[in-house]
Amino acid sequence: MSSLSARLLVSVSVLMLFFFGATIVVLDTAFVSAGEQAREDILDGYVMQLLAAAEPNADGALSLPIDLFEARFNSLGSGLYAELRGEGGMPLWQSQSALGLALPFAAVPELGVRVFKRESLADGTPLLSLSLAVQWEFPDGSLRPYTFKVTESLDSFNAQISRFRRQLFGWFGAVALIMLLAISILMRGLLKPLRQIETEIGEIEEGHRAELSGRFPTELEGVARNMNLLIETERARSDRYRYTLDNLAHSLKTPLAALRALISESDAGDRFNRRADEQIDRMDEIVRYQLRKPAATDNLVLKPVAVEEEIERLVAGLNKVYRDKSPEIRTAIGKGIRFRADAGDFLELAGNLLDNACKWCRSTVELEIEPVSRERGPSSGLALVVSDDGPGIPEDAVQSLLQRGTRLDESTPGHGIGLAIVADIARSYGGTLEICRAPLGGAEMRVTIPPVTARRASPL
């Protein structure tokens, strides 16, 4: 998860889930406990009313009237039941609502102690019951034990709890959604400075801005200030580098011209003059290449290179240069590849490899460019493969070819620095140059440049 907003939202959601979950559990437990306490108080009131309604009968035993004060006791299947038990738990009387039911009875409670507990009927119907054992004193002074018990079905109570829980989840769900929406809107405003930094860095990459603006919160002022300092430092260093090479070029220009003039005036022989001119041309080429490096762009960051367009221009130019040879240049370029690098470096890479392939091929040159895969996000790396059907390169000569000035065939025009330049450029982007035998029979040059985030700086 790469988005800071998404991370914050997920973190807040987890905290809210934990907090609301704990709150729901606490409220649910409190509601159930309070409900049971209320039911206990109601059942206790019913027991007291049964005690008040009980009277000794003509047989000298305790009895209760058929119709009780509470209408539910008199209605069959109402869910509210009452019973009277004698010594040893012997059933003596039941309310009309309990006709046909076997009410559970575990044991006779202790005298004067109210026993409130959960029970169930034979069919599994949950019940709440309250029992009270008393010693009833009759007019003759005798005492007999009796147990008054009131039982109520939990169906209505459980339905009430279910409604409460649905309402509780609905309320907290609505509150959570509103809070998440409010937090997301709030974070959008709080993270706006970060998006502004991202936008301004993109403008710097495109060359539309020289530095970050100073309109940032206190926490980001140091970041913007240090970033601007880094940009200014790199710009100054680039300028010094360019000025130094400019001075070097101007310093070498006159001596090289003088040296060329002296050689042309000497009578050392055409062969010597030609070899000396080649070395001077080599020096000129090296100086021009190094001068192009710092002067290629004034930006401090790399822009995407339109690979397909640049290759088309290179191929068109090479077809003109090698029109006598007329090699067939086949290209296979991944759709929409945009390599983030200096355009001059890319042209130097592809141009040198294609030029070498055209120079040594018999009739066919193949170019393939594919993006380098990356675990997440778009890739700015690429793999550039150039192969030909020429004589190829011996394995024992590969390393020597990467040295500046080395050529396999001295009769072929060139300065011997093309592959060394390619290797240097690839290394500066954290990439590699591999040379092997091509399926066409000639040489295959493979340059692999990793994505930007995987590159390591390597000075030329």
Domain with CATH 3.30.450 in the chain: 4-160
Instruction: Spell out the CATH class of 4-160.
Output: alpha beta
Q: What CATH class does 205-300 carry?
A: mainly alpha
- Reported residue count of the chain is 460
416 close to 359: Cβ distance less than 8 angstroms: no
Distant-in-sequence, close-in-space partners of 29: CB < 8 Å, separation ≥ 6: none
**DSSP one-letter code for 302:** P
Per-residue pLDDT of the chain (460 residues; tens, 9 = 90+): 567 778 888 888 899 889 989 999 999 999 999 999 999 999 999 999 999 888 888 777 888 888 888 888 888 888 899 999 888 888 888 888 888 888 888 788 888 889 998 888 888 889 999 999 999 888 888 888 999 999 999 988 899 999 999 999 999 999 989 998 998 888 888 888 888 888 888 887 777 888 888 778 887 888 888 888 888 888 788 777 777 777 777 677 677 777 777 777 666 666 666 667 766 766 676 666 666 655 544 455 566 788 888 889 889 888 888 888 889 999 998 876 777 777 778 888 888 899 989 988 999 999 999 887 654 444 567 889 999 998 888 877 777 666 654 554 444 444 445 677 888 888 888 889 888 888 988 889 999 988 765 444 444 4
- What is the enclosing helix (H) or strand (E) of 367? strand 364-371
- Report d(CA 313, CA 334) in Å as an integer: 17
Q: Which residue in the block uniquely carries the two structure tokens 């005036």?
A: 265
Please give the class, per CATH, of domain 302-454.
alpha beta
Tokens of 318: 């090479």
* pTM beyond 0.95, yes or no: no
Q: Angle at the Cα of 430 (from 427 to 432), degrees rounded to 5?
A: 55
Smallest CA-to-CA distance from 57 within 130, 134, 144 is with: 144
For the chain, where do the domains classified as CATH 3.30.565.10 start and end? 302-454
- Residues 431, 435, 441, 442: is their CA dihedral positive or negative? positive
